[in-house]
Structure 1
Amino acid sequence: MPPFTLLMAVYGGNSLREVERSVQSSTIEQILPPSQIVIVRDGAVPDPVQRYLDTLQSTMSVWFAAEHPDEPVPQVTIVPLEENRGLAHALNVGLRHCKYDIVARADSDDVSLPNRFATLIPLFVRRSNAAHTSARGRRPIDVMGSAIREFSDDEDEPGQIRMLPAEGPELERYARMQSPVHHPSVVFRKSTVLAAGGYPEDSGRFEDYMLWERLMLAHAQFLNVPQTLVLYRTNEAAYERRGGGEMFRDELRLQWRFLRDGFTTPWQFLRNVVIRAIYRVIPTSLRKRAYRSMTSRHNTEIAASPKPPKPPERGRHSAAPSRHAADGAQSEPPAPPTR
């Protein structure tokens, strides 16, 4: 497998426990760990988090010496930013420090399951190979994601699974209404993202969705695998943050941009604005029930549609799977994730 970079950003709202768990799950616990880890410190962070970042390279060396003595230790690149200017800016800065063209994203409070990269990277490489894909009437893949599973605090407590259409016209239609990939699960080509201008920094809380729109308008190809490969942290406060006037204003700007760019039609614009206006202003308890109901319906529809061939689940490494390894093999059954 070619080398790839793991890209993360941490900020003042992250706890040491969250950052440690996210980094550990995305590196030493992976069957196929990254070759480089780029972590952007987006402004000041709590002292324990800063100390952890300061010693992460030596910590990584100890981890790999104990668990993977025959494997190279990933290079750790910490990029300190004095001022917090938002996730989009942090990721754009981080991309400039990524050594490799294949970049995997991870959020600093989520958990990657052990076979995440061993599942995605080989398939991404095969589907990115122009000769391989053209022989099968396909275009090379630029962005790949997976299903994710929500959790609140206990990783072993089952939560709702979020699935997305796999690819092609079905995913193109879905993208006009919801984000076409789960941001914390994606693998993409750095060159493709930079050619599209990187993450838009004037997009409020929708930097990922607006990036996917840019890429789709540039005819980039997307693919989602049905396996659950990331545990997405959420809680009651997350449903509160999805409501309110400020959130709706950000979304209204997003929908206006989509209409102006020709990504959506006037009818799609009107539909999206009306649905989101209702969703943002209803009480949190109703918003939670509506969201879960819509997600369950999407999952049922997607589960009934044809699936691409199941990708391999093991890479070149032989690390024993953790207690979550079974999650990555299941085919069970979206407001885009935000920080």
Structure 2
Amino acid sequence: MSADFSLLMPVYRGDDAAHFAKAFTSSVGEQTIKPSQVVLVQDGPVDEELAAAIDRVVDASPVPVTRHVIDENVGLARALDLGLTLCEHEIVARIDADDISLPERFARQLPVVEGGVDLLGTGMFEFLDDGGAIVGRRTPRTGHDEIARYARFHDPFSHPTVMYRRSAVERAGGYQPLGLMEDYWLFARMIDAGASVENLVEPLVMYRVGAGAYARRGGKAQWRSELQLQRALRRIRFTSRWEYLRNVTVRGVYRFVPEGVRKVAYRKLIAGGHSS
């Protein structure tokens, strides 16, 4: 018999009601192995349409839902850290409010985490908002040593795909606000704290790529977050001086190149996948 696990899902005013409903249904009712508990954290006020969608999926959920509403928007890191305290089980899976879990996702992940892995991600399909056409695939690095090596340059996990042990997250200090890089900062600290990590190559999540997805990866705000992250990684000595300089240079240039160049670079150098 598989272990019990919690599903941690944040939602906020910027989320689309229909996308949220599909994300919830795909990660709960449509799974061959369902979570034992859903922790739904609403980060601040939402509009009437999204509020109605939340009510509908909670009422129809086949598993218990712990719903927590934060009065004011506090940001993803604080919302997730609060959500973790509400998770009743040691094993926790993540999903975002606009992505889709494929039916075998948890059935494939859970045995690996039960076998001793502290942090487990998967591959992803990228799909368009309109029509759901698959336009790409992200293939992650595998093997603890390779993931730890790659983490010195780039986030080795796709956040919406991960399943982890709550105790391993807590040992690393939990989610901490860091610009737009909270997930990478957490995963680096988990690796640094000795967590056992792995990825499944198999795409088990569909990641929504809407208009402006690559534009949002560039600009001054992303650059400021990037610099803040690289300084934090160097501060805990996760990266060497040379790695810090390389990252600031290479990843910094990436934030300011034209969007078309950024898209090609992301697919070839970072996503590890291919266009379909």
Aligned residues: 275
1:76 maps to 65
| Aligned residue among 138, 143, 150 for 1:174 | 150
When structure 1 is superposed on structure 2, of 43-52 and 7-16 the one drifting more is 43-52
Residue 122 of structure 1 and its aligned partner are, at CA, apart by 1.7
**Could you say what secondary structure the match of 2:243 adopts?**
helix
**Could you say what secondary structure the match of 1:238 adopts?**
coil
1:76-103 deviations in Å (ceiling 9; x for gaps): 1110001111100000111111111110
2:83 maps to 94
Q: Is this contact kept in 2: 1:147–1:224, CA < 8 A?
A: yes
**Could you say what secondary structure the match of 1:151 adopts?**
strand
**Aligned-pair Cα RMSD in Å:** 1.7
TM value normalised by structure 2: 0.95
When structure 1 is superposed on structure 2, of 287-296 and 106-115 the one drifting more is 287-296
Q: Is this contact kept in 2: 1:163–1:299, CA < 8 A?
A: yes
2:61 paired with 1:85: no
One-letter amino acid of the structure 1 residue matched with residue 170 of structure 2: L
Tell me, in whole angstroms, the C-alpha distance in 2 between the residues paired with 1:58 and 1:256: 45
1:18 maps to 19
Q: Is this contact kept in 2: 1:155–1:231, CA < 8 A?
A: no
2:60 maps to 59
2:103 paired with 1:114: yes
Greater than 4 Å deviation, 4+ residue runs: none
TM-aligned CA distance change 1:7 to 1:172, over 3 Å: same
2:31 maps to 30
Residue 236 of structure 1 and its aligned partner are, at CA, apart by 3.4
Tell me, in whole angstroms, the C-alpha distance in 1 between the residues paired with 2:269 and 2:58: 43
| Aligned residue among 219, 230, 238 for 2:213 | 238
**Could you say what secondary structure the match of 2:199 adopts?**
strand
1:10-36 deviations in Å (ceiling 9; x for gaps): 001011101100001001111111111
Tell me, in whole angstroms, the C-alpha distance in 2 between the residues paired with 1:295 and 1:251: 15
Residue 160 of structure 1 and its aligned partner are, at CA, apart by 1.2
Residue 155 of structure 1 and its aligned partner are, at CA, apart by 6.2
TM-aligned CA distance change 1:232 to 1:226, over 3 Å: same
TM-aligned CA distance change 1:21 to 1:55, over 3 Å: closer
Q: Is this contact kept in 1: 2:172–2:189, CA < 8 A?
A: yes
Runs of at least 5 residues in structure 2 that lack an aligned partner in the other structure: none
One-letter amino acid of the structure 2 residue matched with residue 168 of structure 1: H
Tell me, in whole angstroms, the C-alpha distance in 1 between the residues paired with 2:201 and 2:267: 18
1:327 maps to none
One-letter amino acid of the structure 1 residue matched with residue 204 of structure 2: L
Greater fraction of residues in strand: 2
Residue 295 of structure 1 and its aligned partner are, at CA, apart by 4.5
2:233 paired with 1:258: yes
1:194 maps to 170
**Could you say what secondary structure the match of 1:159 adopts?**
strand
Q: Is this contact kept in 2: 1:56–1:76, CA < 8 A?
A: no
1:217 maps to 192
One-letter amino acid of the structure 2 residue matched with residue 18 of structure 1: H
2:262 paired with 1:287: yes
2:5 maps to 4
> Which fold has the larger relative contact order, with Cα–Cα distance below 8 Å and residues 6 or more apart in sequence?
1
1:65 maps to none
Tell me, in whole angstroms, the C-alpha distance in 1 between the residues paired with 2:243 and 2:93: 31
How many percent of aligned residue pairs carry the same amino acid? Answer: 40
TM value normalised by structure 1: 0.78
Q: Is this contact kept in 2: 1:18–1:108, CA < 8 A?
A: yes
1:59-80 deviations in Å (ceiling 9; x for gaps): 12xxxxxxxxxxxx31111100
Q: Is this contact kept in 1: 2:21–2:57, CA < 8 A?
A: no
Q: Is this contact kept in 2: 1:161–1:228, CA < 8 A?
A: yes
**Could you say what secondary structure the match of 2:103 adopts?**
coil
Q: Whose Rg is larger? A: 1
Residue 154 of structure 1 and its aligned partner are, at CA, apart by 4.5
Residue 291 of structure 1 and its aligned partner are, at CA, apart by 1.7
One-letter amino acid of the structure 1 residue matched with residue 124 of structure 2: I
Q: Is this contact kept in 2: 1:27–1:34, CA < 8 A?
A: yes
**Could you say what secondary structure the match of 1:236 adopts?**
coil
1:314 maps to none
Q: Is this contact kept in 2: 1:206–1:254, CA < 8 A?
A: yes
